[in-house]
Amino acid sequence: MANNSFHVLRSRYSSSLKEFIASPRTFEILDRVPADPTSVPLSTHNARSLFVLDSSFNPPSAAHLDIASSALEESPRSSRLLLLLATQNADKPAKPASFEDRLLMMSLFAQELRIHLQSSLPSLPSADIPHIDIGVTKKPYFVDKAAAIELSEEYPKGLEQIHLTGYDTLIRIFNPKYYPPAHTLQPLEPFLSRHRLRVTTRPDDEWGDRKEQEDYLRNLAQGGREQEGGKREWAERIELVQGHKVDKTPVSSTRARTAAQSKDDKLLHSLVPAAVGSYIISQDLYHES
């Protein structure tokens, strides 16, 4: 995409973002990839599930691509993907890049993900490559994100959402500190009775080894969280899948920002999809992160 097209898209995202932020809406779809208005809407599509990848996309990383592609590859004909930019984080203050740049990188990410799916699923006709929606939410917690998506009526009523998260996020979803005033896990009930989590293990020393991550889920299944209001049957709605490392080092948006800041283009390109890397370099993002 040329600089001029970036400029046009950025301005479009900027005005729709402003409108969203000023509105009482808590979820909105700002773009679709492909953006073909004649393409089949989901209500007439045979999608059985909506994968949701919620992130700060700061920037979208190779891990995000891995998480999304591995999910879509399992049932490409019956799923759709929503890339959801969280404008408010449960813990972190907003950092560079701007939300407009992040939306632009999400759109590049979506295009690259579709190209990736075309080559990983060569027998899939191009018309069946999953469509990708680019949305925004003001809600920091998963229970509220899922409810906002349902309430928006953008998708058929009752469509099951499968939220794609990393293991570190699973731990935080199950931390009662986020659920005042009672500080129990009970608020998770509407979310986990209707929707699912597909959790990618983080092959990172910080999060323990694979066994430790599996034990966490086993503990929930065996009733280890009942005293806090955590139901054992929720474990059946959580799938753990294994994540990858790049050159034996963990992938994160933080590492990508640091690589961009230190102008280590080779490292940056190993941590983010190619089009995202080129955008970061061409726009000189993360200089001050």
Ligand X SMILES: NC(=O)c1ccc[n+]([C@@H]2O[C@H](COP(=O)(O)O)[C@@H](O)[C@H]2O)c1
Interface positions with ligand X (CB under 6 A): 54-56, 86, 89-92, 140-142, 169, 172-173, 178
Using CB under 6 A, which of 243, 269, 275, 277 touches ligand ATP? Answer: 243
Tokens of 140: 């920091």
Does 55 contact ligand ATP by CB under 6 A? yes
Q: Are 135 and 86 contacting, i.e. CB atoms less than 8 angstroms apart?
A: no
Q: Cβ 236 to ligand X, closest distance in Å? A: 20
Does 137 contact ligand ATP by CB under 6 A? no
Taking 3-state DSSP, the helix, strand and coil percentages for the chain, each rounded to the nearest 5, stand at 50, 15, 35
Q: Cβ 251 to ligand ATP, closest distance in Å? A: 4
DSSP H helices, 136-246, are 142-152, 167-173, 189-194, 210-221
Residue 252 touches which member of ligand ATP, ligand X, none, C-beta under 5-8 Å by kind = ligand ATP
3-class DSSP assignment, residue 263: coil
**Sequence-ordered list of residues with C-beta below 8 angstroms from that of 159, at least 6 positions apart, any chain:** 42, 47, 48, 49, 50
Does 166 contact ligand ATP by CB under 6 A? yes
Using CB under 6 A, which of 85, 251, 268, 272 touches ligand ATP? Answer: 251
Give the DSSP per-residue string, 110-155: HHHHHHHHHHHSTTS-GGGSPPEEEEEES--SHHHHHHHHHHHTSS
3-class DSSP assignment, residue 193: helix
Site string for ligand ATP, 60-89 (x = CB under 6 A): -x-xx--x----------------------
Quickly count helices (H) and strands (E) in the chain.
Answer: 10, 7
Number of residues located near ligand ATP, criterion CB under 6 A: 19
Using CB under 6 A, which of 56, 87, 219, 261 touches ligand ATP? Answer: 56
Residue 243 touches which member of ligand ATP, ligand X, none, C-beta under 5-8 Å by kind = ligand ATP
Q: Please give the angle made by the CA atoms of 239, 62 and 278, to the nearest 5 degrees.
A: 155
Q: Cβ 260 to ligand ATP, closest distance in Å? A: 12
Binding site for ligand ATP (CB under 6 A): 55-56, 58, 61, 63-64, 67, 165-166, 168-169, 200, 202, 243, 250-254
